[in-house]
Amino acid sequence: MMENETVNEPLSQYGRPIGFDQVWQMFQETNKQFQETEKRFKETDKRFKETDKMLSEKFRDTDKKLNKLEQLFTSQWGKLVESLVEGDLVNVLNKRGIKVEKTIQRIKGSRGGENFEYDIIAVNGKEIVIVEVKTTLRVKDVEWFHEKLWKAKGFLPEYKEKTIYGAMAFITADGSSDRMAEKLGLYVIRATGNSSSIINETGFRPKAF
């Protein structure tokens, strides 16, 4: 070491030099504090995850209950609309030249491993009109019902020798779903207040299935 050269030693908070043992002790204390802080972070994170899991389970339970209520409301409302349409269906179809002998609601069954259900069937001597009822008519409903009509004679062999027509009844129509139903050869029935009416354009000719 050169003469007059000094060594800078660590100083304590009082300005006195700190030995290695003291520095090592300070390091250990600081490291311990870091470890304790990390432990608290982990515990806090664990509590957050447990809380999140608990809230998620409660939200899922609430969603299930809301879905059940929605399904119940939709089901009851749907039955009300069906009753409204069915009560006026004879008169509506008679005006179109289809002399209805009787109407049947909620025809359900299974054939060939496939389940089926038809809301209302209006019957006369040689023809039947199968009616699908929706509170709000959507394009996908029209597509689905049109496909279901083609299967009707297979599902309902008792009507195999009859001419089958289709009709979609609703309170409100989403987009151009009502016009789509007409283009596919279906009667379009709008339910209003305490009555129903066929709203197909003049000269409409229904498709026979």
pLDDT digits (tens, 9 = 90+) for 74-95: 555 566 677 778 878 888 898 8
The continuous run of DSSP H or E covering 82 comes out as helix 20-94
Closest listed residue to residue 161, CA positions, set 204, 187, 123, 116: 123
Q: How many domains does the chain have?
A: 1
Q: Does residue 34 lie in a domain region?
A: no
Domain-embedded: residue 124: yes
Q: What local confidence, expressed as pLDDT, does residue 59 receive?
A: 66
What mean pLDDT do residues 181-208 have? 89
Inside any domain, residue 98: yes
Q: State how far the Cα of 106 lies from the Cα of 6, in Å rounded to an integer.
A: 103
Q: For residue 43, what pLDDT is reported?
A: 80
Decide if pLDDT at 14 tops 60.
no
95: containing domain: 82-198
Is 93 contained in some domain? yes
pLDDT score, position 89? 87
192 DSSP β-pair partners = 195
Kindly tell me if the per-residue pLDDT of 67 is higher than 70: no
103 within some domain: yes
pLDDT score of 205 more than 80: yes
- Asked if residue 172 belongs to a domain, the reply is yes
Give the model's pLDDT for residue 20: 61
Taking only the tens place, the pLDDT of each residue in 162-186 is 999 999 999 899 989 999 999 999 9
173 within domain boundaries: yes
Q: Return the CATH number at 113.
A: 3.40.1350.10
At 107-132, the pLDDT tens digits run 899 988 889 999 999 998 889 999 99
Q: What is the DSSP string of 10-77?
A: -B-TTS-B--HHHHHHHHHHHHHHHHHHHHHHHHHHHHHHHHHHHHHHHHHHHHHHHHHHHHHHHHHH
Residue 52: inside a domain:
no
Q: How many CB atoms lie within 10 A of CB 107?
A: 15
Q: pTM, whole model, 2 decimals? A: 0.63
